[in-house]
Structure 1
């Protein structure tokens, strides 16, 4: 099971919380450059994974806030690009990534041993 404690060595867990009640609205994992979970990032690139938004928070900008935080972190670290993968059925996520300047990189798609297709997206930061 993935918990904040066992994800921390791999990256920085970003959490969006509701202001008043403190309920978690969404999370994503911004990977460290030397993370064992890194699969896509090439030299100079950074990678994030596991973007998740609570059902009741979808369509309210939570995903955009988390992705923008990853973009900002990657820029602050001097990265040339930011990469991620998603599944073909994640239509809302794909629209979000495209709206935020990510482009499909089908030549970098990754086969998964479980049979899931992994669609790679990249945003240039230069």
Structure 2
């Protein structure tokens, strides 16, 4: 009898503190390489936030979620906020009630096109459902067209009331009703 080869996908879990630095480096790499997105020299505070993304886990109901390969390689990460008051964006999103959100989604260039971003988004949606949130709120920019399309395919709808401008950069809001 021949044995079947089973391909095991990435594992999605809470990031370990000893992974925070590597995840921060990945986020800086991903965001700084986006065409049309501000560079580190233009937004040093934002890139400092990315580099130190693990610090966000000190906020109540915030979690750094990571996708790792079967060999432990970090493939992507996102920050989930179970309470929007700690979301930390501009605009009105932090006033949303009975809502969760996620920010700072990044997928390694080596893992693109493998469904890692979708797995991370689904993990955030599942967390929001498990805690009886009524919606998930997110933001993106024009430079993040791949993510934008993925959010729409996942059921997110544009919500212009969540839009804002940050230092000349248009930021677009989305909602997913649960």
Q: CA deviation at 1:84?
A: 0.5
Query: What SS class does the counterpart of residue 90 from structure 1 fall into?
Result: helix
Question: Unpaired runs of 5+ in structure 2?
Answer: 1-47
Question: Unpaired runs of 5+ in structure 1?
Answer: none
Q: How does 1:14-29 map to 2 (within 5 A)?
A: 14-20=65-71, 22-29=72-79
Q: Which structure has the highest helix share of the two?
A: 2
State which of 114, 125, 132 in structure 2 corresponds to 1:71: 125
Deviation per CA, 1:2-41: give whole Å up to 9, x if none: 4354121131000011112x11110000014142626515
TM-score of the aligned structures, taking structure 2 as reference length: 0.65
User: Which residue is equivalent to 2:177?
Assistant: 124
Greater mean alpha carbon deviation, residues 34-43 or residues 88-97: 34-43
Question: Size of the alignment, in residue pairs?
Answer: 123
Q: CA deviation at 1:78?
A: 0.5
Greater mean alpha carbon deviation, residues 37-46 or residues 71-80: 37-46
TM-score of the aligned structures, taking structure 1 as reference length: 0.90
Q: CA deviation at 1:116?
A: 1.1
Between the aligned partners of 2:133 and 2:175, the Cα distance in structure 1 is 12
Superposition misfits of 4+ residues, deviation over 4 angstroms: none
The two structures, once aligned, show a CA RMSD in angstroms of 1.6
